[in-house]
Amino acid sequence: MTRGTSPGEPDATVALLAGRGAVVTGASRGIGLAIARSLAQAGARVAMLARGADALAQRSAELGGAALPVPCDVADAAAVGRAMQVITLAFGGAPDILVNNAGIFHPRPLGDITPDDFAASIAVNLNAAFYLVHAALAPMRARGRGHIVTIGSVADRVAYAGNGSYSPGKFGARALHDVVREELRGTGVRATLVSPGPTNTDIWGDLAGTGRFPPREAMLDAGAVADAVLYAVTRADAVNVDELRLSAS
């Protein structure tokens, strides 16, 4: 995203987040990786959280010195606490930006969803967001500055058949964002919900183009979601972007 630069002029986004520290969950692939890359290119130091240490190390190396790989199972509250301690020490303070992006998507009929399946989906799609918000909220409020971004979905307000474990988590994440936004009004800490439609990432597996879901080439690009996040976190301090809903044109 360029902010109206002319040919030959430097990209005005490069230093917009200089000196800021960001945390992005689910950052080793797809939307999370695109967001981490966008924030790093804008000058932020980015702590990238994901479960797979090897993949995370590889992706963070691609981003260079701005990236800090932090292997973490965000569905584990204790693991999130340890990760935030590592990040706070590395950043010399609490992060300025938190992007709750991690999610899992395994659509199937309700009768085929086991209690363990449901619990695992809620743990990543909803509980993890709470754990990260809970860890970041107090220091952000004390500093009087910060930004909490929730990556939602079209499924955070529209119920689809087969989304019996996914939509409840996304509906809950949207509700969590709404509460965070209300509680933080006037504190200097901002909150944004970015809810994309189907986005071209590996999460689809063999589901894309089956009739129920569009082919991947007709979906949003992950970079478009990253652009939306960058837009929200680079507004003037007095402006809060409450919600952005994205769809393919």
Write out the catalytic residue numbers: 166
- 206: its two tokens: 């063999």
Residue 48 sits at φ, ψ, to 5 deg, of: -100, 120
Considering just the CA atoms, what is the radius of gyration of the chain in Å?
17
Please give the angle made by the CA atoms of 139, 144 and 149, to the nearest 5 degrees: 70
Q: What is the C-alpha separation between 196 and 198, in angstroms, rounded?
A: 7
Residues 6+ positions from 179 with CB-CB distance below 8 Å: none
Q: Where are the alpha helices (DSSP H) in 14-52?
A: 30-41
